[in-house]
Chain A
């Protein structure tokens, strides 16, 4: 049984076939890359997995359990966490609270506990607070705990978004172009972080990325998308030499 499995997923917007017959399997602790030109439907695949869109047909399984029709927040609670292409942090909350919010979704105390300041509330608040703190330290944001996210550099905001996603203790982590806008040094740090997430926590990672040096280094297997269709599947070396892939990226020779 695979950790995450997609079977013949289709999704269209009107006449645009964004995803056509996409199937994939990811095992525990694997890093899977998804590449392709702009508009190839990569992010749409993430949006279907995380429940923002529901597939027109096809099925999605997490640890053998079907999650195709579940609401977005239910899928997140089942163990699929993600980051966004254009960073989407919560403004009005500091870094610590941003990460804590992920834990709040499953934190167990009610409104009465909150008003009466019961021990249960204090215990749960302390637990989520400390968990969020250690998550921030884990990605290397220990010194920015009470900073507001908009004051952080782009690279640090990316890390914060990853920390927020990791706080849910996901089984699968979807990273949507995590290296976009980062400088070469930050890309190196990100690469190390991605490998640490896999090695130390055993999380399955799906990675959409345009920076080929990153995606080719960390991925075990790569899916190449073009116009909604999968045109190649294989190891980084196989994909790089595939004529179909070269055609999609560089165009056909006249």
Chain B
């Protein structure tokens, strides 16, 4: 594999980890964040500072990055979880830009020049392994009570609360999961690129990721992942026509969203292929029989 292809794949895999978080935040919970890149920045800078200046090993650096993202996510998210969803978009935008501004001023991280000579720990294999973890995380989230409650909140806040769902807690949980995954991706990013500077993590990045999620299908994890790989590969390809790149790219996204508002994949998941409705129904009924059998057993 050429070095070029390998680097494209690695960067895309890392970005896709953030997109898994966005699937939870935007796809399941219906919240828009334009500050995801700044959570990635926190992860990246934590990794850079600890790995380069303090010579920490790989995994602890990533963990600190995740914790830092989650904690700042909690502090910035706490006041706004009870407000309407649009406010979150505004606040995350401001918050993200504030983090970038702070990093531009900070001496220890080299200000606007950033930091270079960060040790290289991430390889393509490692990136893919972490991506598999990210996908698994998002999948588990969706297929648990947390996923259901998040979708309920997205669909109808008032009815969800009337069913006993704590809306602020559900929103916060999704927000922190997304922040944590972005922090993880940031750490991997810094250890692959071996260089970070604040301009890598502006709100345009965050906006682009949200567009990917909608392009692939906001309700489909499969769609979000395929869109990430498809569109970032495409933008690499079109980089030869740099002048038209953004134009072609934007036109495609607009066309898809205009004619398929639910994105390319809609509600379809890859797992639907082998987990058909008939099979799910059979499983459910089988489980119900064991329950009734157990009840009869107790009575006799």
Query: Which residues from chain A sit less than 8 Å from chain B, CB to CB?
Result: 50-52, 71-73, 76-77, 81-82, 84, 88-93, 96-97, 100-102, 104-107, 109, 111, 114-115, 117, 121, 124-126, 128-130, 133-134, 145-146, 164-165, 168
Query: Interface stretch among B50-58, B116-124, B152-160?
Result: B152-160
Complex Cα distance, B287 from A126, in Å, reads 8
The reply to whether B166 and A73 form a contact with Cβ atoms under 8 Å apart is yes
Most central of B140, B144, B158, B166 by chain A CB within 10 Å = B144
B145 touches A90 (CB 8 A): no
- Say yes or no: B148 contacts A101, CB within 8 Å: yes
Is residue B84 contacting chain A, with contact meaning CB distance below 8 A? no
Query: B5 contacts the other chain (Cβ, under 8 Å)?
Result: no
Q: Identify whether the interface residues of B are mostly helix, strand, loop, or mixed.
A: helix
Residues 127-167 of B, flagged 1 when their CB comes within 8 A of A and 0 if not, give 00000000011001100111011011011101111111111
* Cross-interface CB contact of B165 among A91, A93, A105, A126, cutoff 8 Å: A105
Q: Contact: A109 with B145, CB < 8 Å?
A: yes
Whether A88 and B156, one on each chain, are in contact in the complex, defined by CB atoms closer than 8 angstroms, is: yes
A107 and B145 in contact (CB under 8 A), knowing A90-B152, A115-B140, A117-B140? yes
- Some 25 contacts from A to B, beta carbons below 8 A apart, are A52-B158, A72-B161, A73-B162, A73-B164, A77-B164, A81-B162, A92-B219, A93-B155, A100-B148, A101-B149, A101-B152, A102-B164, A104-B149, A105-B163, A111-B177, A115-B140, A121-B144, A126-B287, A129-B284, A130-B287, A145-B281, A146-B281, A146-B284, A168-B163, A168-B164
Chain A proximity of B173: nearest CB distance (Å): 7
Extra 20 A-B pairs, beta carbons < 8 Å, given A73-B165, A134-B288: A76-B164, A81-B162, A84-B159, A84-B162, A88-B158, A89-B156, A90-B155, A90-B160, A92-B151, A93-B152, A97-B148, A100-B145, A101-B163, A104-B149, A105-B164, A111-B141, A125-B144, A125-B145, A129-B284, A168-B163
Beta-carbon nearest neighbor of A113 in chain B: B144
Contacts of B173 in A (CB 8 A): 111
Q: Does B240 contact A (CB under 8 A)?
A: no
Q: Is the CB of B152 within 8 A of A146?
A: no
A166 CB to nearest chain B CB (Å):
11
B204 CB-CB contact with A under 8 Å: no
Q: Is B291 an interface residue (CB 8 A)?
A: yes
B residues in contact with A88, CB < 8 Å: 156, 158-159
B21 to chain A, nearest CB (A): 14
Contact partners of B156 in chain A: CB under 8 A: 88-91
- With known contacts A111-B146, A114-B146, A146–B280 Cβ distance under 8 A: yes
Closest 7 CB pairs of A and B: A104-B145, A105-B164, A76-B164, A114-B144, A88-B159, A72-B161, A90-B155
The residue in chain A whose Cβ has the minimal distance to the Cβ of B144 is A114
